[in-house]
Structure 1
Amino acid sequence: MAGSVYGTLLKITTWGESHGKGIGVVVDGCPAGLSIAEADIQTYLDRRRPGQSKFTTSRREGDGVEILSGVFEGRTTGAPIAMEVRNLDQRSQDYGAIKDVYRPGHADYTFDEKYGFRDYRGGGRSSGRETIGRVAAGAVACKLLESLGIAVSAYTRSVGAIEISYDSFSMEERWNNRLYMPDAQAAARAEAYLEEMMARKDSCGGVVECVIRGLPAGIGEPVFDKLDGCLAKAMVSIGAVKGFEIGDGFAAARANGSGNNDSFGLTSEDLDGNPLMKEQIVKRTNHSGGTLGGISDGSDIVLRAAFKPTPSIASPQATVNRQGEETDICIKGRHDPIIVPRAVVVVEAMAALTVADLLLLSMSSRLDRIQAFFNK
């Protein structure tokens, strides 16, 4: 099976299945000397862990991570970092009734057509549990970015048709509700809506928004490895994502050039209001979402990923089995009525991995900087 490797210099390989013995990742290309511990990784994994609330699957997994290699005395050695999370609460018997039936909205049919068979226990590699490896690797990338003054923060922008209001936006509020929404009133309305969906044995989708702050201008390659292009690939590679935007996104198609262009100016302060040694070029607005020509422009990177409703619902659905017969299916087991809250940290992880990789690639962009490094 191809396609389990992501990145160029900072490269990750994820492995494992939903109902196998474990899930894991190998991170290659992380610079030596980065301070990292299992507790740093666990903080991120705890945010995507199942069983956190009634809005997530009741599967009881501690998702405890073990670092197997690449870290010594609390610092990376430059060798590949291998991490593993053991699966402890599989209930493969929950899936026995659907082993020969294609679940609507799932990868059952396409997986079967491609490989000739499938792991029907929770979806195997197509399960959302595959994202454990991404999140563990993303935690390493976030620590690397943090050492450079770059922060990646994601949150739930909308649940169904219920959106946050930027008039009452508070990044801290996302820790105070079960949906990771930075708007307390929107979160309350969204929870009520999810209660309704659960009563109807249905599910819903939503949008995760992510902001990358502190990324310097000049990151990203101008043709096939554009920053926004790489972020788009990273986001759409997440199983349930059906759409991607950066900056104004699709709204830019309805705008005029005079309103969509971001004017330039000069500033003597950094993003936190601290005085600079010399004036810097800044944009007065950020319709572009922090990129121009596929390269970061020094302003916040603002991106969004749209998640479809959870396909596993308890309501009857029409389908076909492997014998080519039409039938009905009513999915049992433990499933999230909404994917979005647990996906917030997955979006953060993929954004961090993408940006960290492109940062390392950018180190070779200019001869004067290479000379300055090796002539020191």
Structure 2
Amino acid sequence: MDNPAKPTILRVMTPDSDIIIVGGGLNGPALALALAQTGQRVTVIDTLPAATRKDADFDGRGYALALTSQRLLSAIDVWPLVADKAQPMLEITVTDGHAGSGSSPLFLHFDHAEIEEGPMGYMVEDRHLRPAFLDAMQAAPLITQINGKTVVDQSVGPTGAMVTLDDGKTISGRLLVGSDGRNSGTARRAGIKRTGWDYGQTALVCAIAHEKPHHGIAHQFFMPPGPLAILPLTGNRSSIVWSERTETALWINTLDDAGYMAELRPRFGDFLGELELAGRRFTYPLNLTIANSFIAERLALVGDAAHGVHPIAGQGLNAGLRDVAALAETVTLAARRGEDIGAQTALRQYQQWRRFDTATLALATDTFNRLFSNDNPLLRLGRDLGLGLVNAMPGLRRSFIREAAGLTGDLPRLLQGKAI
């Protein structure tokens, strides 16, 4: 049952855990591992069984991990589990054009050699990243995993929070964290409303095997219906995130593999030679949804539960891991000062740390999508000139590269690759 912000007197004097995390996708486990390293007891609850989340066919996405996200994974000991399956992103090209007619001669090119820190980021497939998180949690004695159970109710009191599972079991903690996606039940039960809109676009996602090597170069090709991202994976393979108007995308997804590839090839081009599908196809509706507050009484939201943005810049998971790093540091420092980790003082610090960065990202992705996902000739001329101008200015281009690598702003310690 849903009863917003319902207070209660907790029946358990000693909580089962310090932190309860609802949602076992990627951000939830990352937060659990970060907190467990500092001595916090954590319970992670997920609706799906672990076997489903470990299935190689569960989610076809590949994630563009910024350099700072890679540092966080290294700090929580997950990176060694996926390092040999990760593809460094050495260059990024951004172009504008029409399917089948090539791109504009004006473009934007980023090269990791222009910064000192190394690759701008890494591509890691969900089928590798998710099992690594599950295995790491399994090896952490301070983390309790509850799989295949749904939270149906939650309540808060002066000293803690409690959730009720669909089997009637209750779990208590000092702090409740919602990491349960864009339709977060945790946020809804706390009475947190959301702001956002649908883009009328759907992402077609798959992996492609190609004849020629990609050389670690990621491509973002803007077309009137939506952008096409070609992201390098290990070997001669790339991850495709192909945004189309929803009606078109759903029609394309009904085609057999040959028909699907016939639609993709004119958009993709021939610069990587012959193409073929490498695995299953997936679709994801695209929207913007931002929680009006990232916190409530004894509650914090992270990842898509706090903010879901357009994948145009591949920053969704990176933004979630920034939440993880900020919340883990805020909670840990509060505990070391002897403070209540679920008190509003600590939670307000977390929200202040993350709110502006999130709003900026949402505005940027929304603006870029609206600017590029159209065929207005004046806008096309302006944006092409803009790409060419940025590309011709080394200082400005370098600042964009550092932004893509996640190296700007007030970075929590985990994003610097340091222990809290």
TM-score, normalising length from structure 1? 0.26
TM-score, normalising length from structure 2? 0.24
Higher strand share: 2
Higher helix share: 2
